[in-house]
Structure 1
């Protein structure tokens, strides 16, 4: 039987070739020196010290060598791996030191600085706009009245001279509260407050109602199924369209500034006769740009409806139409906010993004 092969040369194993081991060490040291962050160094460690690294593969070959060759090969590979491990340890210490110094600068805290206040919430600009309009009306000597949002159909339609077959009564325009035969609706305008006030207080009467109303409109840039209205009602002896025009001109001036130009355009509403639409001269182009998006080139922007209270409404609310006359008007609070701030999309008002509210502060 033959003895062991004592003449086996480990150099013949390519992974154990001294030149290959030296090259692997040089590659590792170069990569370690080029690492500029701890993450880069982690990648280098995996490539040159991991299970599939050249030195790890060379170390595996040692087990297949005869006993007389293992010592020399093991020493050679062990020294190479030691050099790589030492370089990794040194470079990691350097990068950790650089990181700590950078953090001390970037995350420095001035303990002498006064603590910052917690950001305060802000009231919604629609609410602020409603209060601003209420203040204007109170300044004119009017009172602010309120009413329920779930309203009787009689106050919403019958008392306001809507015919039984009027389209606004249909379920495709009005939200009815189940069961529909109970005659309860989500108010489509704030005018029911006017009817309630006349029945409860009689005439003379000067009231403004600001509140939320509901209609079955699709949500888009200019329409919402729930929005806010301001309605005014004046009932007294001798009131005319001139009083209505003067009141609306004062309200427009207070909201949009001096020099605002208004006009009344004939229209129709069941609860007023005569009726009109109130338009504002376009405050974007001044009526000079045929391509203006704000007014569609017409030079005017519709603001709301108004007119003299229909005598049938006065009778339904126990007010003598032979003695008293009245005028009423209604405008959208949300639309007034758009006019004042230049907002082009109503949906921004109801999405709940605090950045929308924050831009207005506490005053609009």
Structure 2
């Protein structure tokens, strides 16, 4: 019994020395965790040594217990310090492995540019959304009713000749204007409505410097109680000033469209010349009736313009075909 405390004390001292040595040479965090379990776990070596405390006298038990706690704290401190060192080394190695060599040449990706057609569409939408309009789209393949009949084109009316179009074998056609969106939208929405409708259109046209068989058009229209031609003129004036960035003289010339009455062509003075820029008018009562609106209660206006025409004016282009050529020498200018 007299040699028991000395034996436990020697075992604890040897265990402390061996454990500190093993911890100091551990190279990985998993290995460090194995050592923690081996020495300080519930079934570890320290616990096994402490199992002999019950055989000690009441006088020796507190001294050996205090020594065991010192060994535990020393080993825990050694484990914590080694863990911090290994984690720091791991982070340092990761940073070194992932470091970019800033002296190496990068991969060049040329900056993209907005096509002049898309640029005009985007600017127009921004202007009209700012005025409280909703953006709407519609089908490019259309039937005769939405493209002509509901817009007050009679079956044998000569106005159809102005939009001689591309018919499909099933009797449908490729839309000649974005006015078809007007009918679709008003059929599904009750007034008041304020809509801007961009899209691609098709006409059997001879391609030259100012014409294309495939082109883009934007229509805007509004229907509400008490809308007048003055509202139309004011809206067009604000739009043109916002689009071209300056105030300019504009004039309205009497014209004819089946879906508006009265109708007008809009000219603007640009660089000292009068340029025709869009068509417009008050929505014909027959169009309002076709979508179920009461023309005795509601009035409205509509206007539309060719996107390519505005782009040509803005950028002073001499040929519409340049915008379809995909020539990078041309596109890089925008």
TM-score by length of 2: 0.67
Matching of residue 330 in structure 1 with residue 304 in structure 2: yes
User: Which residue in 2 is equivalent to 1:206?
Assistant: 194
Matching of residue 312 in structure 1 with residue 286 in structure 2: yes
User: Which residue in 2 is equivalent to 1:162?
Assistant: 153
State the SS of the aligned residue for 1:304: strand
TM-aligned CA deviation for residue 121 of structure 1: 3.3
User: Which residue in 2 is equivalent to 1:346?
Assistant: 320
**Correspondence for 1:355 among 318, 329, 332:** 329
Matching of residue 139 in structure 1 with residue 113 in structure 2: no
State the SS of the aligned residue for 1:136: helix
- Over the residues paired in the alignment, what is the CA RMSD in angstroms? 1.8
TM-aligned CA deviation for residue 327 of structure 1: 0.2
TM-aligned CA deviation for residue 112 of structure 1: 5.1
State the SS of the aligned residue for 1:195: helix
The 5-angstrom pairing of residues 3-42 of structure 1 reads none
Per the alignment, do residues 256 and 340 of structure 1 end up closer, same or farther by CA in structure 2, a change over 3 Å counting?
same
State the SS of the aligned residue for 1:219: coil
**Correspondence for 1:258 among 246, 250, 259:** 246
Alpha-carbon distance in 2 for matches of 1:137, 1:357: 26
Alpha-carbon distance in 1 for matches of 2:122, 2:308: 12
User: Which residue in 1 is equivalent to 2:36?
Assistant: none
Gaps of 5+ in 1: 1-110, 287-298
Aligned residues: 233
Alpha-carbon distance in 1 for matches of 2:322, 2:214: 14
TM-score by length of 1: 0.62
TM-aligned CA deviation for residue 152 of structure 1: 1.2
Alpha-carbon distance in 1 for matches of 2:277, 2:201: 17
Alpha-carbon distance in 1 for matches of 2:267, 2:164: 25
Matching of residue 234 in structure 1 with residue 222 in structure 2: yes
TM-aligned CA deviation for residue 149 of structure 1: 0.3
TM-aligned CA deviation for residue 347 of structure 1: 0.3
Alpha-carbon distance in 2 for matches of 1:315, 1:172: 23
Per the alignment, do residues 171 and 139 of structure 1 end up closer, same or farther by CA in structure 2, a change over 3 Å counting?
closer
TM-aligned CA deviation for residue 116 of structure 1: 6.5
Alpha-carbon distance in 2 for matches of 1:225, 1:115: 43
Alpha-carbon distance in 2 for matches of 1:136, 1:156: 26
User: Which residue in 2 is equivalent to 1:185?
Assistant: 173
User: Which residue in 2 is equivalent to 1:275?
Assistant: 263
Q: Deviations 1:271-298 (Å, cap 9, x if unpaired)?
A: 00000000011x22x1xxxxxxxxxxxx
The 5-angstrom pairing of residues 17-96 of structure 1 reads none
Q: Deviations 1:215-262 (Å, cap 9, x if unpaired)?
A: 111111000000001101100000000000000000100111222211
State the SS of the aligned residue for 1:239: coil
User: Which residue in 1 is equivalent to 2:74?
Assistant: none
